[in-house]
Structure 1
Amino acid sequence: MNDVRKKLWEPSEEWIKTAEVTRFIEYVNKKYGQVIKGGKDLYKWSVESTPEFWAAMWDFGEIIYSKKYDKVVKDLKIFPGTKWFVGSRLNFAENLLRYNDDKLAFIFQGETKVSKQITYAKLNITVARLAKSLKEIGVKVGDRVVSYIPNLIETPIAMLA
């Protein structure tokens, strides 16, 4: 049997230059004194220096928090059970809804070829409407809202509301 593997896609030089991962590699090289040249080097550093990698991701991603972590990772050898960003306090929705522009926030591709997209501006409006509806029916801070819903674009919207 002949196992010929053909690349499905390869990024252009321009794509590579402007990619977020390229910016992240440049950030890591400067801040941590690394000499990472591409994806394989980045992967190697991420598994050999896991706490530093995730601290770099936290900082590069400009995570909004009310309390920064005391420790990046605890019990890395225990899986499941590893604790990440121990002591930190942040609001997941605040981090995802901080943008309010026409860039794409979510792209959904269903198994039946149904495709949907939503911008950050539309996401903010939709989440605000759903949050208002939840408040109107009596849902308040501290309440648990449970849902059994499929993997659709509406699923993260409901979580954020």
Structure 2
Amino acid sequence: MNTDTDLLWSPGRRELEESNVAAFMNWVSEVRGLHFSDYAELWRWSSTDLAGFWSAVWEFYGLDAVTDHDEVLGRASMPGADWFPGARLNFAERCFARATDARPALVCLTEGGTPEETSWSELRRQVADVAA
């Protein structure tokens, strides 16, 4: 019987080692000299050093090469926090920045459970159609 506390899925070793979180943790270790033994330590850092964590995310994803910002967190009040004031980003452009033919842009399941893939070139075409 399944209860709300039962673990439904846990990533395997390969998923853990090849995840974006693992890549980020390695990058933070190499570039910032911060070492986290597991996700819980990373989470603690992300919730106690907001500016440090989010500036690292900003750099890790290459946004520092796209736009400047005045500061990481202009106003910390919740709700209403002001993240990266002064930055200017094109959301669609950033979504396509790492497009590759090596993997689909989207994978969804039909109502019947069949996976359907959308390539990056098809998604780019659809976005251009909507923009037009």
Q: TM-score if structure 2 supplies the norm length?
A: 0.80
Greater relative contact order (CA < 8 Å, ≥ 6 in sequence):
1
- What amino acid maps onto 1:15 in structure 2? E
Cα distance, 1:24 vs structure 2:
0.3
SS at match of 1:57: helix
Cα distance, 1:126 vs structure 2:
1.5
Cα 1:20–1:67 shift into 2, 3 Å:
closer
2:38 — aligned with what? 38
Whether the aligned pair in 2 keeps the contact of 1:16 and 1:22 (CA below 8 Å) is yes
Show the 5 A alignment for 1:38-57: 38-57=38-57
Cα 1:41–1:129 shift into 2, 3 Å:
same
1:90 — aligned with what? 89
- What amino acid maps onto 2:82 in structure 1? K
Cα distance, 1:15 vs structure 2:
1.7
Whether the aligned pair in 2 keeps the contact of 1:105 and 1:120 (CA below 8 Å) is yes
Alpha-carbon distance in structure 1 between the residues aligned to 2:68 and 2:120: 26
Cα 1:28–1:65 shift into 2, 3 Å:
closer
Cα distance, 1:107 vs structure 2:
3.9
Aligned residues: CA RMSD: 2.5
**Residue deviations 1:48-76, cap 9 Å, x none?**
11111111111111237653111011121
1:75 — aligned with what? 75
Cα distance, 1:108 vs structure 2:
4.4
Cα 1:67–1:61 shift into 2, 3 Å:
closer
- What amino acid maps onto 1:129 in structure 2? D
Alpha-carbon distance in structure 2 between the residues aligned to 1:67 and 1:79: 25
Alpha-carbon distance in structure 2 between the residues aligned to 1:4 and 1:91: 39
Whether the aligned pair in 1 keeps the contact of 2:70 and 2:84 (CA below 8 Å) is yes
Alpha-carbon distance in structure 1 between the residues aligned to 2:106 and 2:4: 34
Larger Rg: 1
Cα 1:80–1:94 shift into 2, 3 Å:
same
Cα 1:113–1:75 shift into 2, 3 Å:
farther
Between the two proteins, the alignment pairs up a number of residues equal to 128
